[in-house]
Amino acid sequence: MTADLLATLRAASSPLLDAARERDGADPLAALRARFALPDGVYLDGNSLGAMPATATAAMQAAMTRGWADGLIRSWNAEGWHMLPVTVGDRLAALMGAAPSEVLVCDSTSVNLYKTFCAAMAMRPGRRGVISERNNFPTDVHILQGAIRGRFPEARLDLAEDDDASVLGLLSADTAVVCLSHVNYRTGRLRDMTAVTKAAHEAGALVIWDLAHSLGALPVDLGAARADFAVGCTYKYLNAGPGGPAWLYVAARHLEAAATPLTGWQGHAAPFAFDIDFSPAETIEKFRCGTPPVLSYIPLMESLSVFEATTIEAIRDKSLALTAFFIELADERLARHGLTVITPRDGSQRGSQVALTHDDGWPIMQALIASGVIGDFRAPDILRFGFTPLYVSFEDAALAVLALERIMETGLWREPRFAEKKLVT
């Protein structure tokens, strides 16, 4: 049945689907869905890889044909290629409450975390405490572990639990840097950025926020929160495509003191003077390193144009409505099958994803994907569903619950083919 399940559900008369479609009819963001090239089926994994902006292919063709093939090296100036890390950063800044010149689009989130962490540690000499969280996205903790081993061997890494109180309980006069995810990648729990940052500052520490799972899904105001540093990717809610360029934020007040450990030529004050001694730029460009991957910026710019056609507040409103709707349906129809909602029911503590747990989460998710509803699985037992308000509908949310309910009722997920492991989960 799998391939036909979604079509069957869609075609069937259903008060639930009628109600969902009615909400879609009243959705002020509904028209933005047409600005994405969406696959058949229901896509609830935009929190892992965002959908493609419909204009991205034409923009990429133009960049390749006009910029690369015809313009060649002249395009570094004529097409503004050289300054893309800054100009695209300025556009991204608007989504995070940052000022222009505080955001740089470059490298990967992991590399940018290394840069900002090393910079922050050097700004708190003598302090040895580093705080992160046990259930952080692994790369954040991995990067800290490697940086501590190689550069700050006297530092000590403490891992907090999911609640903010646990973080605050670890703060001390010895804390140098706190590095946290704004929204947890598994549970979808949202931290109180302002409160945690304030407490860290009172202890004399600096804070690095990882916004990979929040930026583009909800309002972020790094300026109001007095954040010190932040990093994140662009391929989730920001729809820049697989492995799109990441970004970093350095509060303007720290730009003079913060030093990058990755002193590549593009961070030089005058890269095209070809001086052999490194002398950092005075601006956010000091955190550049190598040559920017120009073509990777193209889809991101198309996606930002969609964001610029609405407001992050409207996006948040729809996000909260979608996730509340999904949670309500999950409680009604899936809880009895052992699928438990672990995402906070309090919207103020919730990102834009909903996580369910089940011991057989892996085969259940594979059966769901085979039926045309794409979510993903995160070890050990989490089924994740991302609600990307620019292109996900209430009908999508309802269909996902109906499909999952049918899979649990029929026991479809027990078929051996769904137990097969994959390289990337």
379 touches its own copies (CB under 8 A): yes
d(CA 349, CA 281): 39
Residues 197-226 that bind its own copies (CB under 8 A): none
Out of 18, 22, 39, 338, the only residue in the binding site for its own copies (CB under 8 A) is 39
| Piece of the chain touching its own copies by CB under 8 A; list 8-16, 62-70, 356-364, 395-403 | 62-70
Going along 111-187, which residue ranges are E strands?
129-133, 156-160, 175-181
- Of 43, 117, 137, 326, which one is the catalytic site residue? 137
Site residues (CB under 8 A) for its own copies, limited to 296-315: 296, 299
Q: Which residues pair with 106 in a beta bridge?
A: none
Number of amino acids touching its own copies (CB under 8 A): 94
Does position 150 interact with its own copies (CB under 8 A)? The reply is yes
Task: Report, in Å, the least distance between residue 118 CB and its own copies.
Answer: 7
| Minimum CB distance to its own copies smaller for 83 or for 94 | 83
Q: How many Å separate Cα 264 from the centre of its chain?
A: 26
> In the numeric block, which tokens belong to residue 115?
């840069």
Question: Which contiguous run of DSSP H or E holds residue 87?
Answer: helix 84-93
Query: Considering only residues 9, 17, 43, 179, which one is a binding residue for its own copies as defined by CB under 8 A?
Result: 43
Of 17-25, 32-40, 198-206, 218-226, which part binds its own copies (CB under 8 A)?
32-40
Six token digits for residue 182: 């704004």
DSSP 66: I
Q: At what angle do helices 312-333 and 15-25 cross, to 10 degrees?
A: 170
Cβ(303)–Cβ(46) under 8 Å?
no
Residue window 384-413: x/- pattern of binding to its own copies, with contact defined by CB under 8 A: ------------------------------
Chain-centre distance of CA 199, in angstroms? 24
Among 29, 35, 67, 247, binds its own copies (CB under 8 A): 67
Question: What is the separation of C-alpha 57 from the centre of its chain, rounded to a whole number of angstroms?
Answer: 22
Q: Would you call 236 a catalytic residue per the annotation? A: yes
Angle, CA of 170, 176 and 180, to the nearest 5°? 60
Smallest distance from the beta carbon of 342 to its own copies, in angstroms?
Answer: 15
Among candidate residues 236, 288, 318, 333, the one labeled active-site is 236
What are the two backbone dihedrals, phi and then psi, of residue 210, each rounded to the nearest 5 degrees?
-100, 115
CB of 153 to its own copies, least distance (A): 10
Catalytic site positions: 137, 210, 235-236, 384
